[in-house]
Chain A
Amino acid sequence: MLYLKYELNKPRLNLDLDIELPSTGVTALFGQSGAGKTTILRIIAGLEPTQQGVLRFMGQVWQDKTTKIFIPPYLRKIGYVFQEGKLFNHLNIAKNLSFASSRSKIKKEEAEVIIEELGLKNLLSRMPQKLSGGEKQRVAFARCLLTQPDLLLLDEPFNAIDVYTTQLLIECIHKLQLPTLYVSHDRNEIIKIADYMLHIHDGKIITHGSLNQMLPLLGYNGFIINGKLISSNNGYCCYKTDIGSISFPTVKTPPSNARIYVDSRNINLYKYDTGKLIALHINSIKYDIPFYCQLNVKLANENIDILILKEKITNMEIHSMSTVFIEILQADFIGYQ
């Protein structure tokens, strides 16, 4: 668990935070430019010069104004990927990487695995000025992993980089299973990578919750589930998920581990189970939205809102605290799990 309570008054930013964040998965800090997202990462990294507020991570106090504790950035066990990589231009790639590994004393074999995984072997003798944006970001990512961090801080890591690098880094982030705070203003990117999300505006946290709870804010109407491939044939795939086994048609080769987005327009609701449907518990229903009704349903272990066309449930007579059954007509693979 990461707890942060902080107030900061800057000329163009008044930050007022009091938040507990999950200690697992990827937490996205979402908001417009200038909302204070990067400043939050900098506070957590210990890079903001005003040493105030309270910051605890996994039971360790990183800073506390009242007890005058301030753990400097070099002792915080963080891996920080800055915007545009920020490689040291006077060092070649091998030396950029060894700058981190020599200080963290990571085992040589582990370091080699990171370098191999991120495809950096051929870049080691090159200077940062000679690399593309994507290559620089891969080096920056490897360099931060070589510090053996307990917490990853990623500041818009996929800005202006190629699809291949983005995919590689997202795969890597998922594999690592390190608690990660990730800054972005790109909603399409967030749904690929995040598990939890904070919406920040003008230095204040407007709302926060699991990705599914925050999907409407990102302009999506549906839900996201992670699944393991059970079978795939005749253009249909079947995945085991937290809400049961789901099948849907696909034209792509289904990945063995997938992050699946189901749009509410692509589900049919039934009052009774026909044997292959998925049960959903309805907590509440709101009818005050034109053309739609808002269902608050229990999905796996969380309550989420989805909008369903009123005409789909006109004759069903469903009500709060009841169970409905859904059929998934179509779903999309997102992310690269």
Chain B
Amino acid sequence: MILSTNDWASLWLSLKLAAISILILLIIAIPAAYWLTFSRSRYKIIISPVFTLPLILPPTVLGFYLLLLMGPQGVIGHLCQVLGIEQLTFSFSGLVVASIIYSFPFVVLPIQNTFSVIGKSSLEVGATLGAKPFDSIINILLPQAKIGIISAGVIGFAHTIGEFGIVLMIGGNIPGKTQLASVQLYNHFEAYEYSQANHLALILLGLSFIILLILYMLNHKFSHLDTRENALSKI
């Protein structure tokens, strides 16, 4: 299997983007999932669909609006100019932001589902045993939800690697900078380089298979535990 330097660079960029995005996503998604699960706020009914909108929205629609926002005339783009920060459009940072927004529901929903399955009763037990809310979250909720959180991370990672439309709109096709594996595959296809397209596609296929294998192995490993811990089946 022969891959060009650009192919390797695009693969490396995809993996780097997925890794950075998923780390940031988990930091954001865990509190968001907690709020969506346990908050009694009246605004939840409005916020929930906003969080899950990228799930059903065509990536090009999301990409279009993000491009407007991040462009020099957009609010975020203008803010970047004022603060002297690199423009987000056609940059790796822009790709990270777009990936986070696009993959957000794919990470937050499994975690929210895991928290729902665990329920608030564990937190209540913790409170009656003298644990403050944050203490209960760290020592009761998160350890019980770890499989669900890992699964959400794996799904988010896989989803980020597979992005195409939105990353093409936000990042463009700059080799070594914003050219991701999925975009590079499309480049090969457009140039009738079917053999190279096939090689890259096979790698992405293998990667996806390995990710799914990890997911199912996790599910199998923890299937003997209490069903509350094994939230994978609910994802």
Contact B128 A45 (CB under 8 A): yes
In the complex, what's the smallest C-beta–C-beta distance from A255 to chain B, in angstroms? Answer: 33
Contacts of B129-183 to chain A: CB distance below 8 A: 129-132, 135, 139-140, 143-144
Complex: chain A residue closest to B40, CB-CB: A49
Alpha-carbon distance A194/B130, docked complex (angstroms) = 27
**A198 interfacial contact with B, CB 8 Å:** no
Segment among A75-83, A180-188, A233-241, A242-250 that sits at the interface with chain B: A75-83
Contacts of A10-34 to chain B: CB distance below 8 A: none
Contact B129 A89 (CB under 8 A): no
Find B129's partner among A90, A128, A129, A143 (CB 8 Å cutoff): A143
Decide if the interface of chain B is mainly helix, strand, loop or mixed.
helix
**B190 interfacial contact with A, CB 8 Å:** no
Q: Which residues does chain A contribute within 8 Å of B121, judged by CB atoms?
A: 82, 86
Given A88-B140, A89-B228, A89-B229, check contact A104 B130 (CB 8 Å).
Answer: yes
State which size class the interface on A falls in. Answer: 20 to 34
Contact B131 A86 (CB under 8 A): no
Complex: chain A residue closest to B128, CB-CB: A80
Decide if the interface of chain A is mainly helix, strand, loop or mixed.
mixed
Contact B128 A79 (CB under 8 A): yes
**A74 interfacial contact with B, CB 8 Å:** yes
Q: Which residues does chain B contribute within 8 Å of A80, judged by CB atoms?
A: 125, 128
Complex: chain A residue closest to B121, CB-CB: A86
Alpha-carbon distance A80/B139, docked complex (angstroms) = 19
Contact A72 B127 (CB under 8 A): yes
Given A86-B121, A86-B125, check contact A100 B225 (CB 8 Å).
Answer: no
Contact A89 B225 (CB under 8 A): yes
Contact A100 B122 (CB under 8 A): no
Interface mask (A80-97 → B, CB under 8 Å = 1, otherwise 0): 101000101111000000
Q: Which residues does chain B contribute within 8 Å of A143, judged by CB atoms?
A: 129
In the complex, what's the smallest C-beta–C-beta distance from B228 to chain A, in angstroms? Answer: 7
Contact B125 A90 (CB under 8 A): no
Q: Which residues does chain B contribute within 8 Å of A74, judged by CB atoms?
A: 127-132
**A53 interfacial contact with B, CB 8 Å:** no
**A147 interfacial contact with B, CB 8 Å:** yes
Contact A47 B122 (CB under 8 A): no
Contact A47 B130 (CB under 8 A): no
Find A73's partner among B124, B135, B143, B225 (CB 8 Å cutoff): B124
Q: Which residues does chain A contribute within 8 Å of B228, judged by CB atoms?
A: 89
Q: Which residues does chain B contribute within 8 Å of A144, judged by CB atoms?
A: 128-129
Given A49-B40, A74-B131, A104-B130, check contact A88 B229 (CB 8 Å).
Answer: no
Q: Which residues does chain B contribute within 8 Å of A45, judged by CB atoms?
A: 124, 128
**A220 interfacial contact with B, CB 8 Å:** no
Contact A129 B225 (CB under 8 A): yes
- A residues adjacent to B (C-beta < 8 A): 45-47, 49, 72-74, 78-80, 82, 86, 88-91, 99-100, 103-104, 128-129, 143-144, 147
- B residues adjacent to A (C-beta < 8 A): 40, 121-122, 124-132, 135, 139-140, 143-144, 225-226, 228-229
Q: 4 tightest A-B contacts by CB?
A: A103-B130, A73-B127, A80-B128, A89-B226
In the complex, 5 of the A-B residue pairs with CB atoms within 8 angstroms, ordered by the A residue number, are: A79-B128, A86-B125, A88-B140, A90-B143, A91-B143
Beyond A74-B128, A88-B144, A99-B126: 17 further Cβ-contacts under 8 Å?
A: A45-B124, A47-B124, A49-B40, A72-B127, A73-B124, A74-B130, A74-B131, A80-B125, A82-B121, A82-B125, A86-B125, A89-B225, A89-B226, A89-B229, A91-B143, A100-B130, A147-B130
